[in-house]
Chains A and B, each alone.
Chain A
């Protein structure tokens, strides 16, 4: 049953922050949540075949392990390894220029840590699913439109051919 649940990763080096986010997201029982203390561990899991739908990624990942790579580097790597995975960046910095930078690197959203962060994380998941559904719907409509256009052209060609062969004498009025 767990294998069918969408997968969410939480990458946060501060244990309390990590526990709080995991505990909060786990209340939404239709997701499988996996937590990592470093970006390297998260990237390794993706390389090993895990396909998270969403990754919540801390901006500063080197406050505990100084040699750990930072959030922007890991964000870039995640997008290379799994372009369909959406990354939501978490940071204590309430600066628009940081948020803009993060989006340029491919993040879906940017959440400032604090009391409202957990509610915003839930909203981010909802928005990601809605965005992916819209993308899927748009792709389906595009295919249907192309399909109908091809069918229409083929029908016209068929009519012209049949008329030239004398098999039909009257073209439909709308032609």
Chain B
């Protein structure tokens, strides 16, 4: 009995730490003026989310989260941020403009809407938690569910990834002669137009 309550307290401690670091790193992602630091803060966010997935018996999803996000997506982000160079932006400076106020109001309204929608459900169908077996969330179980019950979703996912990969390659390698009339639109005051590169 004491052991059970100690385990329960331990789960709560881990959960509170993960939830706090998840939300704190989320705030950090949108607050850093340097995009590089934002991407690094997102790694902390993903790691704490993986801890919460482990608490939810989703071992395979937690491992996939770390592999796919922290291993592939964030590395791609960091490469692109390093490629485009530093562009500083101070998100919360210069006083609250009307756009910032409207954005905060819209995000707050969205949050309130979600909380109300979930809260209305929480008294009813969310009150009773169902039991799951020990195999729930393990790679073997995921593989059986994925390849037997949800085979179509699996195949569609592969098609989506293929299309995205082709699109990324086309977007990244598409070259056209830089129109001199376009150069002055945006970045002329930030950096000099480079001499035309040969790709």
Same assembly: no
Residues in B lying within 8 Å of A, measured CB to CB: none
